[in-house]
Amino acid sequence: MAEITGTTIDKHEAPVECAVRRYLYIWEGQIRIIHWINFLCILILSITGYFIHNPFMSADQHPYIMGHMRHIHYVSGVVFCGGVLARILALFVLSNRFASWRAIPNPFNKKDRETFFAYIKFYTFLSKDTPHVIGHNPVAVVAYIFLFGLFLFQILSGFALWAQADPNGTMYALTGWLFGLMSNQWVRWVHFMIMFMIAGFVINHIYSVILFDFKTKSGEISSIFSGWKPDRRD
């Protein structure tokens, strides 16, 4: 495989003449499917979750509205749990090097460190050189790790809240320990707050994707639909 990490794009390059030689299939099908399942789940969970927090429609708009909202929240919660676990599993099996754990920047590797700080410099306007790697942006990988921590807490707290309907059941046996660490009001509070943190991430995520799609001409946006990214070396 070609050398595909750590190039920087010269700021003076000619804008239209693209340095692309061919396309590489970076995001394989399962990764894209999981990405969009999780996207849909987060969207549905946020809408129904906000409704649970503040039921802004009433029985006048739809009979049994809270019952249905909660049902949709729980069902998409279960799907989301599957999606998140599948993505974590895909770090280790059935994925190429761009989607696997090997894409995580290694702080003990000099080259990884340099690439990482090239991105930090670019983000903070300290450097005009746009860094480029063909897989994950390493700063984004750090954000994703943090994000998946939020997801895991959201799943744990969600199932724990659900389990309260039957404290003698299996689900409570698996998740009830959370209430020994924090009261159920704070579990709800954090579950609610993480929704906003995820929304904050989404703003960042979409912005960065557009930014790098524009700056590096490497098909960031289309790659999550089609999987292809240009193999550019310059």
Partner 1 sequence: MSNFKEMLAAHNVSRRSFLKYCSALGAILAVPAGMTPRIAAALESDNRPPVIWMEFQSCTGDTESLLRANRPTVGELILDHLSLDYHETIMAAAGHQAEASKHATAEKFKGKYICIVEGSIPTGADGVYCTVAGETAVDILKKVGGDAGLIIAVGSCSAYGGLPAAYPNPTGAVGVSDLLPNKTVINLPGCPMNVDNLTGTIVHYLTFGSAPAMDRFGRPKFAYGKRIHDNCERRGHFDAGQYAEQWGDHAHRQGWCLYKMGCKGPETFHNCPTLRFNEGLSWPVMAGHGCVGCSEPGFFDTMMPMYKRLPNVPGFGVEASALKIGGTIVGASAAIFATHGAVTVARNWKQVKEAKAETRETTKETTD
Q: Which residues bind ligand HEM (CB under 6 A)?
A: 42, 45-46, 49-50, 52-53, 70, 73-74, 77-78, 80-81, 154-155, 158-159, 161-162, 188, 191-192, 195, 198
Q: Which is nearer to ligand HEM, 49 or 135 (CB)?
A: 49
In contact, 232 and 132? CB cutoff 8 Å: yes
219 near 228, Cβ under 8 Å?
Answer: yes
Residue of this chain nearest to ligand HEM (CB atom):
158
Q: Is 204 in the site for partner 1 (CB under 8 A)?
A: yes
With CB under 5 to 8 Å by kind, the binding choice for 74 among ligand HEM, partner 1, none is ligand HEM
Contact between 196 and partner 1 (CB under 8 A)?
yes
* Binding at 164: pick from partner 1, ligand HEM, none (beta carbon under 5-8 Å per type): partner 1
Is residue 180 a contact point for partner 1 (CB under 8 A)?
yes
Using DSSP bridges, classify how beta strands 228-232 and 20-25 pair: parallel, antiparallel or unpaired. antiparallel
Could you give the CA distance from residue 231 to residue 234 in angstroms, rounded to a whole number?
Answer: 10
In the bound state with ligand HEM, the residue whose beta carbon lies nearer, of 141 and 198, is 198
CB of 227 to partner 1, least distance (A): 26
CA 161: distance to chain centroid? Answer: 23
Count of C-beta atoms within a 10 Å radius of residue 125? 7
Judged by CB, which is closer to partner 1: 145, or 193? 193
Helix (H) or strand (E) holding 113: helix 110-123
Nearer to partner 1, 35 or 70 (CB): 70
Cα–Cα distance, 100 to 119 (Å, whole number): 21
170 binds partner 1 (CB under 8 A): no
Binds 158, which of partner 1, ligand HEM, none (CB < 5 to 8 A, cut-off by type)? ligand HEM
25, 18 Cβ separation under 8 angstroms: no
Burial 159-190 (b: 16+ CB within 10 A, else e): bbbbbeeeeeeeebeebeebbeeeeeeebbeb
Cα–Cα separations (whole angstroms), residue 174 to 151, 154, 171: 17, 15, 5
Applying CB under 8 A, does 79 fall inside the site for partner 1? no
Interface residues with partner 1 (CB under 8 A) are 14-16, 53-55, 57-59, 61-67, 70, 123, 125, 128, 164-165, 167-168, 176, 179-180, 183-186, 188-189, 192-193, 195-197, 199-201, 203-204, 207, 211, 214-215
